Structure 1
């Protein structure tokens, strides 16, 4: 598998997510401005709910920006142990340790792009091909690392 192409796919997914959050925030702010009225408390509650939604979207946007920052520091170089940027094949599947963007289908192969902060990665971190690890009583063997 070409790790540079995988990185580009992940960057695109995160960039799309960022653009989506920015659009949602802009739309929500616009609808918040539309609720300004002289009719009193009823509209104040509505504006407060919209502000909470904006805050929630802003938090998600910041998480996506942090993911993009992490991705930009990842090297596509081959690796010999599990670390950030490693493409790990276990007897249960493929895992790309980069950012948590979920399932990616690449060259007809499913793989999971997961964060170094996930329990799965923490269990396998630093291990080499041939070593075993266990998460939630499920054991896996690392078959290869790229």
Structure 2
């Protein structure tokens, strides 16, 4: 991996913006689905279709709750530099870049691949308390921590 300096505050803002964008998109789909449900005729012929729409709204509401919880959890993510892997750390290994924050998964920032992982994830748990130079193995994959920001 090439040596690049990342700014954690910018990365944190980027992740927050991604979550906000997902919330906005989900809000649009939910409103659209609600509007569609109002337009369906109230006859027995359309009962199963209305049930499917209600099920979809239920799933959208669950996703929205998860995203809002993620947004709230991002407020707890520390933005200051860290020397050991913990919540808020950007851990760069010889294989990948992990931002210990929320469970957002893979994303691209400044052209590089990152993984936003929650502090409860197995990867974050095995890295917790480690510092640059430490090594670990997860799922038979050996990694060495090159840098922690």
Q: TM-score, normalised by structure 2?
A: 0.89
Q: Deviations over 1:48-102 (max 9, x none)?
A: 1101100001111111101111112212101111111001011112111112333
Q: Does 1:9 align with 2:14?
A: yes
Residue of structure 1 equivalent to 2:100: 97
Q: Does 1:124 align with 2:124?
A: no
Matches within 5 A, 1:128-139: 128-139=131-142
Residue of structure 2 equivalent to 1:142: 145
Select 2:118's aligned residue among 111, 115, 118: 115
Q: Does 1:72 align with 2:48?
A: no
Q: Deviations over 1:9-47 (max 9, x none)?
A: 00100000001111111111111111132x31x311111
| Structure 2: runs of 5+ lacking an equivalent | 1-5
Secondary structure of the residue aligned to 2:103 is coil
| Structure 1: runs of 5+ lacking an equivalent | none
- Count of paired positions: 144
Matches within 5 A, 1:28-67: 28-37=33-42, 39-40=43-44, 42-67=45-70
Q: RMSD value over aligned CA atoms?
A: 1.4
Secondary structure of the residue aligned to 1:139 is strand
8 Å Cα contact 1:13-1:101 kept in structure 2:
no
Distance 2:119 2:78 in 1: 14
CA positional deviation for 1:107: 3.7
8 Å Cα contact 1:100-1:115 kept in structure 2:
yes
Distance 1:51 1:80 in 2: 48
Distance 1:50 1:107 in 2: 39
Residue of structure 2 equivalent to 1:25: 30
